[in-house]
Amino acid sequence: MRGVTIKAVLFDFDGVLTTDKTGSLTTTCFLSKRTGIDLARVQSVFRNFNNDLTLGKTTHARVWESICEGLGKSLSIELLKEAFESTPMNARMLELARDLHPRYSVGIVTDNKKDRIDRLKQIHKLSSLFDPIAVSAEIGVAKDSPEMFLGVLSHLNVNPNECVFIDNSRENLMVPRTLGINTIYFDDETQDFEALSDALKDLGVAVSDA
């Protein structure tokens, strides 16, 4: 029997609450399809700005002209908003979060762009289900920094061992694990919800059986 009661379950965003592995993949694939520009080129151009966008050092609005120059085509920034909106949400994972919400604090911890998450929060009403929604571009640090998770723990007023974090990257589980947070790897390729449910139950989390 576990001696600690889990009080909070935290979800990564892309690859966990969405079915695309990363937000960059969603955005660049959409723009490539809509503009006819080769995907590799779109990805290469966006990669130049990804780190600064993810850490909130700049915004898409500020670098959009440079992005268009790199793509060799003048594009409306409205296309970017449409790209954000095309994000494929993982309905089954959202169902799990809704199931947990009455009994646990449910939050999001994500390395992401502020304008993208702001738009998705709006259209999917994420704030009604998740609190906090910790975004690297707002905080200024990524998930490879303990500061990201310490801030979330402080917000929730829980101890590390009272918290679970789910991510589709094993690398992203290393920092929270060193802090004493329980971690679960979710394989976004297999979408093995049975394994996820079992892992949560092993930690004493009450999960409704589908």
Positions of E strands within the chain: 8-11, 105-110, 133-135, 163-167, 182-185
Whether residue 210 is predicted with pLDDT greater than 60 in this model: the reply is no
Q: Nearest 5°: CA angle at 193, between 175 and 157? A: 40
pLDDT in tens, 154-174: 999 999 999 999 999 999 999
* The pTM of the whole model exceeds 0.85: yes
pLDDT number for residue 4: 84
Whether residue 2 is predicted with pLDDT greater than 90 in this model: the reply is no
The fold of 8-20+89-202 is Rossmann fold (3.40.50)
15: left (phi over 0), alpha (psi -120 to 50) or beta: left
d(CA 10, CA 97) in angstroms, rounded, equals 9
d(CA 88, CA 109) in angstroms, rounded, equals 18
Query: What length does the chain have?
Result: 210
d(CA 46, CA 23) in angstroms, rounded, equals 12
